[in-house]
Structure 1
């Protein structure tokens, strides 16, 4: 069996693959990751561990320690490269690109083998453009919904949220807190429509990340794939 792990800045996600099928999966806050975070997988025979991580050295070190202790396995960490699985990186120094972006691009492209736009809505929102030939044409990185709101909370003492709205709304707020909450969603929605406008004929649009389903729902175009980053691990770690 293979354990696949996607370690983001906020959330650590994992799944177990056996004979090509996902048989178990789970998640935990990255900062709370510990020996028991993989549930009853600790009792399974894990033969290999593939990892995509942007969480930093200490978290990666902790995962290595857990894998050695539980299964006597050395995890394989995916790395960004200049080319992999038919996808060509546009960065002069590929190591400067977050491996989560690289994995998601490869997974999306290999799914359809044609031009794609990949939108990962996590702590940050990343937008990547790939040609029919798998060439990375560039992308954008902007703050995600949570970061936008936290930046205003941190730097504006009088802005406080008593509660999150029960539903997503974008009409103008009638209080400072509403204006911040609904303003961030308004920008999020505007970005979604801008991305839709970038779609070339025949291109496929993929959304992933914690807020990816929300963005896809806003424009009703493209598809949401919750595990796109982990889907890329088998291509990069082999």
Structure 2
């Protein structure tokens, strides 16, 4: 079965074509791209690539979601576009939000994808436009999470509001005390994030030391900073797409 997965984020959309082996959906093969999505899908349609199912998850505005939905349906008019939304509970994962739809579907799917890779308690950190952290125990119960602002956005906002702060010299990131203004700003912001992650790791609200799984554009940076603090973590790519694959059993 050929499946087209679309992950529409805050700033860009990604897609994946997966050739899913029956009863082995997590051995799916395919390719992942953040290229201009509609143009790329059109190119693949022209060479005869046709999916059996199309699944989409979106945290973008309603207008942007409708635009992609309309374009995809023009390319594949005979296929229904399946929109994934955040449930209260599904596939062994329970949402901690009382108003379940307010949990971003990207966070839900990242947790679902993480759960598919381990039977242990875990913390998912998606370091992108925002930095999200979600804690899940080994029974699949979401304990809640945090949403942190992107460090670069925070630094730029501070510089714009404080006339004497200039961010010119960007040095290698660490969480040590800074000796130039740029280091004082960036290191402090990253230190606050790393200490929050470390506090959740050490608090063990799940009853055991959780796995820390990193995703997103800044995952490698957070991995290096956590390693400096002797906090074990690993990068798992395409967590949202792994979560979407769970829906193929429907």
Computed over aligned residues only, the root mean square deviation of the Cα atoms, in angstroms, reads 2.4
* TM-score, length-scaled by structure 2: 0.82
* SS at 1:111 equivalent: coil
Q: Could you list the per-position Cα deviations for residues 100-144 of structure 1 after superposition, in whole angstroms to 9, with x for gaps in the alignment?
A: 111111111222133221111122222111122111111222212
How far apart are 1:225 and its partner, in Å?
A: 1.1
Alpha-carbon distance in 2 for matches of 1:60, 1:22: 26
Q: How many residues align?
A: 233
How far apart are 1:61 and its partner, in Å?
A: 0.9
Unmatched runs of 5 consecutive residues or more in structure 2: 22-27
Alpha-carbon distance in 1 for matches of 2:166, 2:6: 35
Q: Judging changes above 3 Å, is the alpha-carbon distance between structure 1 residues 7 and 187 closer, same or farther for their aligned structure 2 residues? A: same
How far apart are 1:37 and its partner, in Å?
A: 4.3
- Indicate the residue corresponding to 2:152 in structure 1: 146
Unmatched runs of 5 consecutive residues or more in structure 1: none
* SS at 1:4 equivalent: strand
- Indicate the residue corresponding to 1:35 in structure 2: 38
Q: Judging changes above 3 Å, is the alpha-carbon distance between structure 1 residues 182 and 115 closer, same or farther for their aligned structure 2 residues? A: closer
Alpha-carbon distance in 1 for matches of 2:20, 2:93: 26
- Indicate the residue corresponding to 1:229 in structure 2: 240
Matches of residues 164-203 of structure 1 in structure 2 within 5 Å?
A: 164-165=170-171, 167-199=172-204, 200-201=207-208, 203=210
Matches of residues 17-56 of structure 1 in structure 2 within 5 Å?
A: 17-20=18-21, 21-28=28-35, 33=36, 35-38=38-41, 40-43=43-46, 44-56=49-61
Alpha-carbon distance in 1 for matches of 2:42, 2:185: 38
Q: Is the 8 A contact 1:170 1:182 kept in 2?
A: yes
How far apart are 1:99 and its partner, in Å?
A: 0.6
Alpha-carbon distance in 1 for matches of 2:42, 2:209: 42
- Indicate the residue corresponding to 1:137 in structure 2: 143
Alpha-carbon distance in 1 for matches of 2:118, 2:184: 40
* TM-score, length-scaled by structure 1: 0.86
- Indicate the residue corresponding to 1:64 in structure 2: 69
- Indicate the residue corresponding to 1:5 in structure 2: 6
Q: Could you list the per-position Cα deviations for residues 175-225 of structure 1 after superposition, in whole angstroms to 9, with x for gaps in the alignment?
A: 433322232223233234334324553632211112122212222412211
* SS at 2:30 equivalent: strand
- Indicate the residue corresponding to 2:113 in structure 1: 107
Q: Judging changes above 3 Å, is the alpha-carbon distance between structure 1 residues 138 and 192 closer, same or farther for their aligned structure 2 residues? A: closer
Q: Judging changes above 3 Å, is the alpha-carbon distance between structure 1 residues 161 and 75 closer, same or farther for their aligned structure 2 residues? A: farther
How far apart are 1:2 and its partner, in Å?
A: 1.3
* SS at 1:142 equivalent: strand
- Indicate the residue corresponding to 1:214 in structure 2: 221
Q: Judging changes above 3 Å, is the alpha-carbon distance between structure 1 residues 49 and 187 closer, same or farther for their aligned structure 2 residues? A: same
How far apart are 1:12 and its partner, in Å?
A: 1.9
